[in-house]
Amino acid sequence: MAARELLETIVPQLWDSQTPAPNSGAERVKWLQGLNDFIKRPVANRGTVSGGGAINTSGVVQSTGIGLATALQPKRYGEFTVKARVTFSINSIGPAFMHVYRTLGAIPANGAAPNAGDVVVGGGAFVGGPTSNGVNQVGALSFLDTGLDVTKKYNYYLTVEGPNGQVLNVGADSQLLVMERS
């Protein structure tokens, strides 16, 4: 993806007029660079993934294996906007749920439990409940994940929770988007 730029490349010699003295425009240059960084951050510091697949459920929270390819590091406020939109169906009658998890480690494989220390984003499932065999459920999440450490890199992934011994299918059009907002 090509980087979006509000200003042409900021070269201090061009933006600092040297009037009334050398480096008298240094604060202006810093301010312009900060403005430029602030505006392009939602494009430059984001990750997205789409996908689906089948998960053999075990009655506990399990990874779908669908997660961001690259961990993101918050730069400005220590927060990310997390958005998810999923479609799923299960081959049983009973409760099934979808979650978004945050990790400092790798994305767990399809069917694996979340890593120790991984955190559910938003505090719980964002879609689910009683289901009918083979009927699609659709859910969306939009959450501001705050209180992050700007020195760490975070990754996000989708998980499911369904009755033991069933198959939950996540639709191929399901999406996860994480971005730093201005």
The residue assigned the tokens 């906007």 is 81
159 bridge partner residues = 63, 99
Give 74-119 pLDDT, tens digit per residue: 987 899 999 999 999 999 888 999 999 999 999 999 999 999 999 9
**CB–CB of 29/10 below 8 Å?**
yes
How many angstroms from the chain centroid is the CA of residue 123?
A: 15
Task: Please give the pLDDT value at position 1.
Answer: 44
Give 123-145 pLDDT, tens digit per residue: 889 998 888 888 999 999 999 99
Residues 5 and 9: their CA atoms lie apart, in Å, by 8
Show the CA angle centred on residue 103, arms to residues 98 and 105, nearest 5°: 130
Residues 157 and 64: their CA atoms lie apart, in Å, by 8
- How large is the C-alpha radius of gyration of the chain? 21
**What are the structure tokens assigned to 131, written together?**
């289901």
Residues 20 and 74: their CA atoms lie apart, in Å, by 38
Residues 157 and 176: their CA atoms lie apart, in Å, by 8
Is the alpha carbon torsion for 98, 136, 49, 63 positive or negative?
Answer: positive
Helices and strands (H and E) in the chain: how many: 2, 11
Task: Please give the pLDDT value at position 35.
Answer: 73
How many angstroms from the chain centroid is the CA of residue 122?
A: 12
Mean pLDDT of the region 140-157: 95
Q: What's this model's pTM, rounded to 2 decimal places?
A: 0.78
CATH of domain 46-179: 2.60.120
Residue 16 confidence class, pLDDT cut points 50, 70, 90: low
Higher pLDDT, 147 or 36: 147
Residues 153 and 72: their CA atoms lie apart, in Å, by 5
